Structure 1
Amino acid sequence: MPRDAVLGVDIGTSSSKGVLVGLDGTVLRSAVREHTVDRPAPGQVEMDAEVWWDELVSLSRELTDGGDAEVVAVGASGMGPCVLLTDADDTPLRPAVLYGVDTRSTAQIARLNAELGIEEIRRRCGSDLSSQAAGPKIAWIAEQEPELYARARRLYMPSSWLVRKLTGAYVLDHHSASQTTPLYDTVAQQWYAPWAGRIAPGIELPPLRWSGETAGTVTAEAARRTGLPQGIPVITGTIDAWAEALSVGAHRPGDLMLMYGTTMFLIHTVPGLLTDPALWSTVGALPGTRNLAGGMATSGAVTGWLRELFGKPDYAELLQLAEASGPGANGLLMLPYFAGERTPVMDPQARGVIAGLTLSHTRGDLYRAALEATACAVRHNIEALEKAGGDIRRVVAVGGGTQGGLWTRIVSDVTGRPQELRTISIGASYGGALLAAQSVTDASIDVLSDAWNPVCETVTPDPGNAARYEELYGLYRDLYPASADVVHALAARQDR
């Protein structure tokens, strides 16, 4: 007899992932669909939303094909905040504009800051406007593509688009809405009509739900396409990093999640509203929770870029070479700002820098320098979180970059922080499955996350590396201001 299971699907920057999970947390099957984003111009990063639905259909068909499990609920998450505008018939009008890696809206940010007031935006919305905010990207489309925008009626993100396709429901979770700054009032936890009507005129903003609430049930047409049973519940879902935090139980006050992926993301759960111009303040995925968050524009993207340059050797080989290079990468220092930088630098015109290169440096040195650059950026963000009033008592690491051990060890050595690793590091798709399971059981998310995914290892700092990394971090902090003028001039040439 088939066992009851839940399906979790996550739409990421470089791939979509699906996982079929028994109600006891056992991973029955998982699958991946790789894809690419489009970069039509410098600073612009987009994706065709039809890919999101096609890949969910494909993943669902593959994962449920065995006949040994009966799916009883579905959870979806995705990268964000993104801006997908559709017409009244839900036809996408253009490719979706992606999250903070897309930096096209600098002029709109400056204009909205002048019109609405930086302090007032921060007070009402929790965060300053930055490349992460969805509101200015909507304004960019309205200004740069007015004929297209005139037909826009609805706003979607990856998770809410999948919910719409599966159930017909038009909803968005509170957390995702809190990253549409300045459309959402994070104090009142609702859309702020005066600014929403001004920045997104004509858009019917979606009703708001919490991530684990049921958005609707699978329609007959969606069941035909996906192979899922008609009528089973689909949760509202959320942005991938927040689903990933839930997947490893990092959602309690004092917790900090580090997500090792194409980008590095940090989510710190705080007991109340905290704001800081160098960070993002959001409502959490769960009712009653709030977060201070940070994110790098690149991390795994840089190591992937290096791998391409090196002729695509196995990552295991590169990690071995980086291990042999040793702390400090034989005198190399990198700034990982290859796509601008988000928190706490907040500089879309920042660029990558590799300092100290000689003819004797090797692939291992360069790869090690990239890992150490990410670790230094993590420490910079942690310092900003604590300066803003955060109280970090536990660090939990998750994501593909935790595999192999070296990267997490370097981050612990540079930051001086232990990191918990959970048994399952699949990530956001597993978090979506967790939320789906909560919707059909009586168990709380705390009980489920600890039972499904217990701690398997704690990475601790090596005291022998502390002095060397303390010196390296000081040089890292000095390098950005020392090189900023030159880098900005080069970025301007790239934008021509």
Structure 2
Amino acid sequence: MPKRCTLGVDIGTSSSKGVLVAADGEIIATATAAHEVQRPHAGWVEMDGRIWWDEFVELSRRLLAEASALGIAVEVIGVGVSGMGPCILLVDEHDGPVRPAILYGVDTRAAAQIERMSQQLGRDEITRVGGSTLTSQAGGPKIGWVADEEPDAFARARRLFMPASWLVRRLTGAYVLDHQSASQVSPLYDIEAETWHEPWWSRFAEGIEAPPLAWAGDIVGTVTKAAAEATGIPAGTPVIAGTIDAWTEAVSVGAHGAGDLMLMYGTTMFLIATGEETLRTPSMWTTVGAFPGTRNLAGGLATSGALTGWLKELTDADYPTLLAEAAESGVGAGGLVMLPYFAGERTPILDPDARGVVAGLTLSHTRGDLYRAALEATALGVRHNVETMRAAGADIRRIVAVGGGTQGSLWLQIVSDATGLVQEVPQTTIGASYGAAFLAAVATAGSAPADEPPSIADWNPVATTIRPRAEVAADYDVLFDRYLRLYTSTKELVHELAAAQRAEPAGEHERVRDEQAGDERVGDEQEVAR
């Protein structure tokens, strides 16, 4: 008898991942497809949206083939999708992309549109309607940029997609966007009414049909005959709406209930605190949750694993060696303080012109000290975000650590020590594709008489708990104070340097470094963590 399975695919910044999961959470097969973003100008990060469907087709066929090669007969009963976001893919009346998709907050091209919208609508009114002030993370100004800078493309635009909703369209023919993703198309979504804010949609997205809204786990269609022929997934298989990858990753570890904080370790760091109340603060992102009745405060560091990867390349050392030397360096890295803003910074300082700073260097410092300082810098960045969330009213009672960076113990321990937080690490850290498969399993539960809705606690139980060490708490309090003062005391000079960097043509080293820093994926996290 074939195993009843769900198939989950996540479209990331530098790779797409797929997983085939049995009804009890057992992973039957996994597959990954690598791709690249384009950076045609400074501050631009974009991608050909057609790649998303091409890779879904590739991954689905590879997953089914792998199961067959293992001698496992499977019946796909549901499909889950997720992807990076918020992204802006505009298409014409025939669903042809009018230009490459503009990616999330790593794309900073829309600064002028952010300022103009803020002036025209009023920052307080934008926050009241959409929950957050406008930043490079917001989708609305990116639409405005296309209207201003590429009017011919904008004139042809008829629909708006993100990676997950594009896959839904190609699989089922449905035009839909989930509420969580929609809430990041600020300021065009009303966070309290949970609907598009029609006056602003008409003003800034004229001619584009507002996508109907659904929740991440809602079934929004079934696989068409044409999609079945392309993917190997049977026609008529239910497909859920899906949502943005970080939120789907929170689902994969059960960190989406009131009081939960998901902490995602990867090339960048991402945090999502979940509650029932809409909390507004100018330095974080307020969004609708993945499920009805939930709200989020979210934040992200622009670098984390990207920073340690840069140091690895710079020193030509392997990760085990660097980690051993960092452990020997000890708390405080021999008197160093580092700011991890090597690609600017997202929350809570919202400063794209921030830059990396290392203070306290002497000729006696080693590469182990530098690597330790980098790990501590990301940990202090997490603390800065958590304290900002709590100051805004977030009730954080449980922290779940996810991502490939959780495979190593030193980084986890430093974060717990620096923040004072207990972290739970789940058994499976495969990520958003696993969460998408779980959402599809929940949505299709009951399709057979013996089906029971699955529990993520059964699918993915806690495997490890990391506790902060009381004996180093005072040391990290001192380091955190120095970390905050280092940014304020160097900000003016660093902004001058950032302006000078923008005025110079980027060389090959800068291009590669930008690609690493802008990479939201977690494809190499296990390597980074070791």
Report TM bin, short chain: over 0.9
Give the corresponding residue for 2:426. 422
Question: In the alignment, which residue of structure 2 is the partner of 1:144?
Answer: 149
Q: Distance in 2 between matches of 1:427 and 1:171?
A: 24
Aligned residues: 494
Paired residue secondary structure (1:127): coil
Q: Which of residues 184, 203, 208 in structure 2 aligns to 1:203? A: 208
Shift of 1:321: 2.9
Q: How far is the alpha carbon of 1:360 from its aligned partner?
A: 3.4
Of 104, 107, 111 in structure 1, the residue corresponding to residue 109 of structure 2 is 104
> TM-score, with normalisation over the residues of structure 1?
0.97
Q: Quote the Cα distance in structure 2 between the aligned partners of 1:108 and 1:463.
A: 47
Residue 334 of structure 1 aligns to a residue in which SS? strand
Kept after mapping to 2: 8 A contact 1:8/1:433: yes
Structure 2 partner of 1:11: 11
User: Residues 203-282 of structure 1: matches in 2 within 5 Å?
Assistant: 203-282=208-287
- Pick from 455, 469, 473: which aligns with 1:448? 455
**Is the CA contact (8 Å cut-off) linking 1:283 and 1:290 kept in structure 2?**
yes
Alignment of 1:428-443 (within 5 A): 428-442=432-446
Match of 1:42 in 2: 42
CA RMSD of superposed structures (Å): 1.5
Letter in 1 for 2:129: R
Match of 1:58 in 2: 58
Compared with structure 1, are the counterparts of its residues 227 and 314 closer, same or farther at alpha carbon in structure 2 (3 Å cutoff)? farther
Offset from partner CA, 1:191-224 (integer Å, 9 cap, x none): 0111111111111121100000012111122111
Residue 525 of structure 2 corresponds to residue 494 of structure 1: no
Which residue in 1 is equivalent to 2:33? Answer: 33
1:408 to 2:412 alignment: yes
Q: Alpha-carbon deviations, 1:146-175, whole Å to 9, x = none? A: 112111111111111111111111110000
Alpha carbons 1:100, 1:297 under 8 Å: kept: no
- Superposition deviation, residue 2 in structure 1: 2.0
Return the offset for 1:316.
3.4
2:56 maps to a residue whose letter is: L
d(CA) in 2 for partners of 1:296 and 1:93? 31
- Deviation per CA, 1:377-428, whole angstroms, max 9, x where unpaired? 1000010111001111111110111111111111100000100111111111
Distance of aligned partners of 1:205 and 1:314 in 2 relative to their CA distance in 1, 3 Å threshold: farther
| Aligned-pair CA distance for 1:314 | 4.2
Q: 2:181 aligns with which of 150, 154, 176?
A: 176
Q: Partners in 2 of 1:283 and 1:400 — Cα distance?
A: 26
Q: Secondary structure at the match of 1:164?
A: helix
2:505 pairs with 1:462: no
Q: Of 481, 486, 489, which residue of structure 1 is paired with 2:488? A: 481
Residues 319 and 404 of structure 1 are in contact (CA less than 8 Å); yes or no, is this contact kept in structure 2?
Answer: no
User: 2:407 and 2:321 mapped to 1: Cα distance?
Assistant: 13
Local SS of the residue matching 2:156: coil
- Going from structure 1 to structure 2, the CA distance change for 1:38 and 1:225 (only over 3 Å counts) comes to same
The equivalent position to 2:160 in structure 1, one of 151, 155, 159, is 155
Query: What TM-score does the superposition give when structure 2 sets the normalisation length?
Result: 0.90
2: CA distance, partners of 1:423 / 1:153: 43
Matched, 1:294 2:303: no
* SS of residue in 2 equivalent to 1:323: helix
Does structure 2 conserve the Cα–Cα contact (< 8 Å) formed by 1:42 and 1:494? Answer: no
The residue that corresponds to 2:515 in the other structure is: none
Matched, 1:343 2:344: no
* SS of match in other structure, 1:294: strand
Q: Equivalent residue for 1:385?
A: 389
- 1:429 counterpart SS class: helix
The equivalent residue for 1:83 is 88
2:337 pairs, out of 330, 333, 345, with 333
Shift of the alpha carbon at 1:89? 1.0
Whether 1:167 aligns to 2:167 is no
Q: Distance in 2 between matches of 1:4 and 1:336?
A: 45
Equivalent-residue separation in structure 1 for 2:90 and 2:318 (angstroms): 39
Kindly tell me: are residues 214 and 316 of structure 1, through their superposed partners in 2, closer, same or farther at Cα, counting changes over 3 Å? farther
Aligned amino acid, residue 465 of structure 1: V
Q: Secondary structure at the match of 1:495?
A: helix
For 1:463, give the aligned amino acid. Answer: A
Q: 1:216·1:234 contact (CA, 8 Å) conserved in 2?
A: yes
Change (3 A) 1:141 1:494: farther
Deviation digits for residues 26-69 of structure 1 (CA, Å, limit 9, x no counterpart) = 11111222222222222211122122222211211111112322
CA distance in 2, matches of 1:48, 1:107: 24
- What is the match of residue 524 of structure 2? none
Q: Is the 8 A contact 1:316 1:404 kept in 2?
A: no
Shift of 1:21: 0.6
Q: Secondary structure at the match of 1:411?
A: helix
Distance in 1 of aligned mates of 2:489 and 2:61: 53
Equivalent position amino acid for 1:142 in 2? A
Moved more, 316-325 or 6-15: 316-325
Q: Partners in 1 of 2:326 and 2:58 — Cα distance?
A: 37
